[in-house]
Structures are given as C-alpha cells and as structure tokens.
C-alpha cells in the first residue's frame, strides 16, 4: 500500500507523446491544458466543439495541441491519425457523455461509446510506441440498486438508460481488447470510472452548475427537476489527476491494469439540493424552483463510489471538498464573465491544485 498523496509529475510528462480523444470537450480541454503545461506533446481527436461558448476555443486549446476534428466512429480516420502520431500514452475521453441526449438518440450514443471505443483501441494494435491506455467511462456503468452502498470496481455492470448501458458495454470492449490484443503487445490498459464533475468552462446542456450559471446570469429562475438526487460530485481536476497518476503507475507496473473509481470521499456525496444551495450562496443572486422529481426520463436517484482502490494502489485522494469545489467553480464562471482569460483561470486552478506548476 502507498501512503503518500500523489499528483501528476511534470518531469514525467515532459516531451511525452500523448493521444487525447475528446480534447474539445469540457474535461478534455482541461486535460489538454494540464498536459501541455507539463510539456507533453498532445495530439487530439475530437468532434468540433458543440456549444457556444466552449472551453476549447476560450482557452485556446487548439494552439497547444495538434488537433484533428474527426468522428471516432470513422475507424479509418482514427487509424490514420494514430499511425501518424505514434503515441506512447493514450487517454480516451471522447464520448456521447450525457444521459438526456442518450434517450433522444440511442443509436448515436451506442455507436459512439461502444464502436468508437473499439475503433480507438483497434487502431493501437501494432503501434510499437504505445505503452499505456487509460479509457474513461463513468460512475454510471454499475448496475444501480438505488441504495447508499458505494459501488466498487468488482461490482456488476449495468445501465438502465442508453448512455449508462453504452458506457457499461464499453467497459467490456476495453477489457476484451486488453486481454485479446494489447496485453500481449506490452500495453497496460485501464478504465477509469469518475463521478460527476464540476468546474469552470462547462456549457453543456442539462448539467447542473452550467444550468445554474446560465439562469442566474440572465436573472432567470433555475428549474431543478430532481432536487433529491444524490451524486459523487468532484472538481474536474480530481479525476484528471487520477487519470494522469494512473498512467504514470501503469507505465512502471503493467500489473496495475484494470478498472479504477475516482470520486469524492463517500461522506462527501451530496444531493442536488445541497449543491445548488451552496452554489447559490456563492453566486449571490438568482432564484430556484424545486421540482418534485417526477418529470423527465428516468435517472438514478442515488449513486456513490468506493475509492479505496485508487487511494491504496495509486495514492490518489481528493484534495478539494464539496464546498471548495463549488466555490472555485462559481468563482471561475464569474471571473470569466468579467473578461478574465479562461486559459489563465484554468492554469491558476491547476497551479493551486498541484502546488507545482509555474503559471
């Protein structure tokens, strides 16, 4: 067991060749900024940003990565980019990542999350440079029993809605490619299951904090459908740090391959109501209308993760508690609204999180 707390090592990542799928998304843009700041050479595969505004453009991520706007469902295009990039490390974040759009378009959701993952992993076969793959799924891959029980990496996979089911299916794809091809090739492969992320720069639809900031910035009332839903909320830098440290550990020890949960301490899981109450206090204005939890498509009522594996094997533990994570997120948005550079805001948060990066 490792007893020290670990953050990503700038010295380790300097000049590493990294392939990052989904780099135009919220979490991907944050990860690209962190990797580039540590000196990694990042090649990105992603669709064009689908919101206005978006962090990819505001933080100028395109100028710190070699960007390819390609659909991961296009196996030939993905293969061509991988052969050219010859990455040593691969972080697969590209996905259809929202529950409600999954209900609207299940075929696109399954095609992206299942076949898209297969396309990325298949492209790595025969690429001698590849050493480590970290494929990102979600906390929603577990068969949800609607209990306070925190799910462990050994628990059954499942998924009621198309998004959750597609991510659970992608876990099987990841495991299959590891066992059938990549392990024999000397590639360490892990999946990472992260809780609900918050942080500045997310403008996606049907996300709690972005919806709140949009409503309150316009003087509108925020409509909350399911105030009693409980989730493992965490700042976006928490799982990203986990992914980076996991990759470093896999590079040194392939036997660490497998699935990992990344989330807050179990006692830090919180209801939607509590998150919004804290966010509202931080924002300082705006109204909230609380729903009865009966509207909209089915979503899990309670979800929490057991993170002892990441703590014991990787020495990854949460740094910022719920209140600090929300406060930092609201401060980011308010600063950005007041014309502070999005890239500078992200770099400041990364520097404070790690205490090691010069910004």
Q: What is the pLDDT of residues 263-272, one digit of tens each?
A: 999 999 999 9
Containing structural domain, residue 78: 17-354
Q: Tell me whether residue 9 is in a domain.
A: no
Check if the beta carbon of residue 223 is closer than 8 Å to that of residue 291. yes
Tokens of 7: 């953050």
CA dihedral sign, ordered 308, 200, 205, 34:
negative
Q: What is the pLDDT of residues 218-245, one digit of tens each?
A: 999 999 999 999 999 999 999 999 999 9
**What is the reported pLDDT for 147?**
82
Q: How far is CA 221 from CA 136, 205, 212, 213, in A?
A: 34, 16, 9, 11
**What is the reported pLDDT for 5?**
61
Q: How far apart are CA 94 and CA 56, in angstroms?
A: 14
Helix (H, G, I), strand (E, B) or coil at 147: coil
**Number of domains the chain contains:** 1
pLDDT at 24 over 50: yes
Q: Tell me whether residue 147 is in a domain.
A: yes
Which of 23-27, 283-287, 297-301, 354-358 has the least mean pLDDT? 354-358
Q: What is the pLDDT of residues 245-254, one digit of tens each?
A: 999 999 999 9
**What is the reported pLDDT for 356?**
56
pTM comes to 0.95
The size of the chain, in residues, is 359
Find tokens 């628990």 and name the residue.
155
Q: Tell me whether residue 243 is in a domain.
A: yes
Helices of type H across 124-232: 162-177, 208-217
**What is the reported pLDDT for 4?**
44
Q: What is the pLDDT of residues 273-329, one digit of tens each?
A: 999 999 999 999 999 999 987 666 777 789 999 999 999 999 999 999 999 999 999
User: Mean pLDDT, to the nearest integer, of 113-137?
Assistant: 98
Q: How far apart are CA 77 and CA 85, in angstroms?
A: 12
Q: Tell me whether residue 78 is in a domain.
A: yes
Q: What is the CATH number of the domain that holds 121?
A: 3.40.50.720
Average pLDDT of every residue of the chain? 94
For the beta carbon of residue 339, count every other beta carbon within 10 angstroms. Answer: 6
Find tokens 């179990």 and name the residue.
266
User: Mean pLDDT, to the nearest integer, of 63-68?
Assistant: 97
Q: How far apart are CA 253 and CA 244, in angstroms?
A: 14
**What is the reported pLDDT for 300?**
73
Q: What is the pLDDT of residues 29-42, one digit of tens each?
A: 999 999 999 999 99
**What is the reported pLDDT for 206?**
86
Q: Tell me whether residue 255 is in a domain.
A: yes
Q: Tell me whether residue 142 is in a domain.
A: yes
Work out the angle at residue 25's Cα, subtended by the Cα atoms of residues 134 and 105, and round it to the nearest 5 degrees.
Answer: 95
Q: Is the peptide bond before 314 cis (omega within 30 degrees of 0)?
A: no
Give the percent of the chain with pLDDT over 90. 90
Q: How far is CA 313 from CA 9, 183, 204, 247, 260, in A?
A: 17, 20, 33, 12, 10
Q: What is the pLDDT of residues 171-204, one digit of tens each?
A: 999 999 999 999 999 999 999 999 899 999 999 9
Q: Tell me whether residue 5 is in a domain.
A: no
Find tokens 């007893």 and name the residue.
3
Q: Tell me whether residue 329 is in a domain.
A: yes
**What is the reported pLDDT for 1?**
33
pLDDT at 212 over 70: yes
**What is the reported pLDDT for 359?**
36
pLDDT at 153 over 90: yes
DSSP string, 22-70: TTTSHHHHHHHHHHHHTT-EEEEEEPPP-SSS-HHHHTTGGGTSEEEE-
Helix (H, G, I), strand (E, B) or coil at 344: helix
Check if the beta carbon of residue 169 is closer than 8 Å to that of residue 140. no
């Amino acid at each position: 067991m490792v007893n020290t707390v670990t953050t990503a090592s700038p010295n380790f990542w300097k000049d590493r060749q990294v392939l990052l799928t989904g780099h135009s998304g919220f979490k991907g843009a944050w990860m690209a900024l962190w990797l580039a700041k540590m000196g990694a050479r990042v090649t990105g595969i992603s669709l064009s940003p689908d919101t206005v505004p978006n962090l990819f453009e505001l933080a100028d991520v395109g100028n710190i990565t070699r960007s390819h706007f390609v659909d991961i469902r296009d196996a030939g295009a993905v293969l061509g980019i991988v052969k050219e990039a010859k990455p040593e490390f691969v972080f697969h974040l590209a996905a259809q990542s929202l529950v409600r759009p999954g209900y609207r378009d299940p075929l696109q959701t399954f095609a992206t999350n299942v076949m898209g993952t297969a396309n990325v992993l298949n492209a790595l076969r025969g690429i001698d440079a590849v050493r480590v793959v970290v494929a990102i799924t979600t906390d929603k891959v577990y068969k949800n029993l609607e209990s306070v029980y925190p799910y462990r990496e050994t628990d059954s996979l499942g998924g009621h809605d198309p998004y959750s089911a597609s991510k659970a299916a992608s876990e099987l794809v990841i495991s299959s490619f590891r066992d059938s091809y990549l392990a024999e090739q000397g590639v360490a492969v892990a999946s990472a299951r992260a809780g609900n992320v918050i942080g500045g720069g997310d403008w996606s639809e049907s996300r709690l904090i972005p919806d709140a900031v949009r409503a309150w910035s316009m003087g509108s009332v925020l409509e909350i459908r399911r105030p009693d839903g409980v989730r493992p909320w965490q700042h976006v830098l928490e799982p990203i740090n986990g992914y980076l440290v996991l990759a470093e550990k896999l590079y040194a020890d392939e036997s660490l391959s497998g699935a990992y949960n990344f989330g807050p301490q179990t006692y830090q899981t919180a209801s939607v109501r509590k998150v919004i109450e804290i966010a509202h206090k931080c924002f300082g204005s705006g109204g909230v209308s609380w729903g009865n939890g009966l509207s909209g498509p089915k979503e899990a009522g309670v979800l929490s993760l057991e993170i002892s594996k990441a703590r014991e094997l990787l020495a990854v533990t949460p740094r910022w508690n719920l209140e600090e994570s929300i406060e930092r997120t609201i401060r980011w948005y308010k600063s950005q609204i007041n014309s502070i550079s999005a890239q500078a805001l992200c770099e400041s948060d990364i520097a404070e999180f790690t205490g090691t990066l010069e910004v």
